[in-house]
Amino acid sequence: MLSFSRLGGITAVFTCLSDQATKWWVLESIMQPPRVIPVTSFFNLVLTWNNGISFGLFNNGSNLNALILSLLAIAIVIFLIMWLRKSETKRVAIGLGLIIGGAIGNIIDRGLHGAVVDFLDFHINSYHWPAFNIADSCITIGAMILVFDSLFSPKPEQARI
């Protein structure tokens, strides 16, 4: 039987590899030259470089962002790995794995490029959500899983009743 921490680790590796593979594909094949590629009436592929955090937050172009945000992300990943090692449910392990893998994917980008590669652009008419990537999506989904688990999983004292 697969332990919860191992399940979370496999999820993190799969998330990071998927993120890096899609970014490589976008950089090497799709965005040569960089352009906007309409896919649907509400979704484009674009190439943007994010110096901030998920979904373009704190994207002020500072040269220190890559270093500071990478160090912060590494500290968070270490904390999340310690939490993962103590996880007691499949849901928590998968949520943590998604966050860890996404964070590592974005750390790799900052190390390789000095910024994170974003390429998914959803919009309604002329209003565009900030471009994002697979790592950002996995971090968001992982956080939603952890919030859901925290709100709706029975607490140990409730389980005995």
Cis peptide before 33 (omega within 30 of 0): yes
Write the burial class of residue 32 (CB in 10 Å: 0-12 exposed, 13-18 middle, 19+ buried): exposed
Sign of CA dihedral 133, 139, 143, 145: positive
Q: How far is CA 22 from CA 29, 145, 150, in A?
A: 10, 23, 31
Active-site positions read 118, 136
List phi, psi (to 5°) of 119.
-150, -5
Q: What is d(CA 155, CA 49) in angstroms, rounded to the nearest whole number?
A: 42
